[in-house]
Amino acid sequence: MLRWDRTAPLLSAALAVALAVLPVRATDDETTRALSALKSVTKEGKGNEDAGPAWKTLVSKGGAALMPALEAFDDTNPTATNWLRAAVDAIAEKETTAGHKLPVEKLEAFAKDTKHAPSARRVAYELLVSQDATAKDRLLPGFLNDKSADLRRDAVARELGAIEKAARPSLRADLEKLFAYARDKDQVDLIAKKIGETGGAASVSEHFGFVTHAAVVGPFDSTGGKGFATAYPPEAARDASGTFKGKGGAEVKWVTADTTDKYGKFDLNRIVPKGAAQDRYTDAVAYALAVVVAEAETPCEIRVASATAVQIFLNGKKLFEREEYHHGDALDANIGRGVLKKGENVIVLKVCQNSQDQEWARVWSFQMRVCDETGGPLPLKQKITADNKDKIVPLGYIPDAPATKEEKK
């Protein structure tokens, strides 16, 4: 399941035009120029005029251009990658139709070389599998911990099938080992469920590294969208102390918030204090502060899901910002990259809401996790405060639900 860029449909139309109007002429120098032209295409459409002829030239080179085209993925953008991917597919189809074999040894070496772009390695793997039916079983076990999300996904799916088919006495241990490799939400949920069916337990929230305890303060004014660019005092906070002048001049202060959602979702419409007759905020800004503890300096990604505009700060440094509203809240839609220092680290998330009043625009929430570059767990803790006492717990920790009256009996 290769993840394509959203511009792919537009690309298809452009390629159809190129095929219809351009003659077939190519030289080695032309290949170099064609690759350069395709790598220059941007999301905004820059370079599109030259891309069609360049694509046609590249495809006309046939098998000789296959590996150079794959290598060109390495330092390009998603839009240019779509052009290159289409060229590789066309070259491979042309070679196969002509009865020529694809260079399987080169494709296998390319797919296994983690120095290449993950998307290019996936394409090389697919071409290899189309030529060699034994390649899946030979290569996929080595992709279980791969940086390529697509190759890892295929490897996890294959291993899960093998584990279930074998049904060894070590089934639970085998599933628990595989759980550590899974990154995609559907696979994580599925394997966690299967571990549960064997009598074990797997924490989805700890696996993803969701922040489940935070201090929240707000609302601050964002009339006309001004809040996104306004650095209110909590933006530089190093702890959850102090009071501030909030929206309408009201005094606001930090409140602690926990989530028991296994996907770490916080509903700001519920958490931010408001009047009894008020069900939500508009034109507002809220901040969430979390303390994450690392045993050593650790490169990390802080991944946030929110339907509204966000900014991510780590120890006072802004890592990421995105000023878009009501664009969906897909997992990991916003990613800030930084380095955790040894000891306590303060993460501040700024979440803005605008004035839209449609039912679907009323959502004001966030989900935040700290993970490695593959989306996998890091050995991190979070500091939580309960009953005026601080406690260090695993990142993603969710306390057991209180026993019901029936359970206590």
Percent of the chain with pLDDT over 90: 79
Q: What is the mean pLDDT of the chain?
A: 90
* pLDDT tops 80 at residue 26: no
* pLDDT tops 90 at residue 20: no
* pLDDT tops 70 at residue 24: no
Length of the chain: 409
Whether the ω angle into residue 141 lies within 30 degrees of 0, i.e. cis, is: no
Q: Would you place residue 12 in the very low, low, confident or very high pLDDT band (cuts 50, 70, 90)?
A: low
**Burial class of residue 330, CB neighbours in 10 A (0-12, 13-18, 19+):** exposed
pLDDT in tens, 93-113: 999 999 999 999 999 999 999
pLDDT for 128 equals: 97
pLDDT for 339 equals: 98
pLDDT in tens, 342-387: 999 999 999 999 999 888 899 999 999 999 999 999 999 999 987 7
d(CA 296, CA 342): 4
* pLDDT tops 60 at residue 238: yes
Fold of the domain spanning 208-394: Jelly Rolls (2.60.120)
- Residues 321, 314: contact at Cβ < 8 Å? no
Q: Would you place residue 81 in the very low, low, confident or very high pLDDT band (cuts 50, 70, 90)?
A: very high
d(CA 288, CA 348): 6
pLDDT for 404 equals: 56
- Residues 293, 381: contact at Cβ < 8 Å? yes
* pLDDT tops 90 at residue 4: no
The model carries a pTM of 0.84
Q: Which of 176, 223, 226 is nearest to 199 (CA)?
A: 176
Collapsed DSSP state (helix, strand, coil) of residue 160: helix
According to DSSP H, which parts of 132-280 are helical?
Answer: 135-139, 149-166, 171-181, 185-197, 204-208, 268-271
Least confident window among 161-175, 262-276, 302-316: 262-276
Average pLDDT over residues 145-163: 96
> Within 10 Å of residue 295's Cβ, how many Cβ atoms?
12
Q: Which two tokens stand for residue 157?
A: 């799916």
Residues 6+ apart with CB under 8 A from 97: none
d(CA 61, CA 269): 58
Q: Which of 135, 136, 185, 183 is nearest to 161 (CA)?
A: 136
Q: Which two tokens stand for residue 198?
A: 């064997």
Distance, CA of 180 to chain centre: 17
CATH 2.60.120.260 domain residues, the chain: 208-394
d(CA 193, CA 301): 27
Report the 3 state secondary structure along 236-259: HCCCCCCEEECHHHCEEECEEEEC
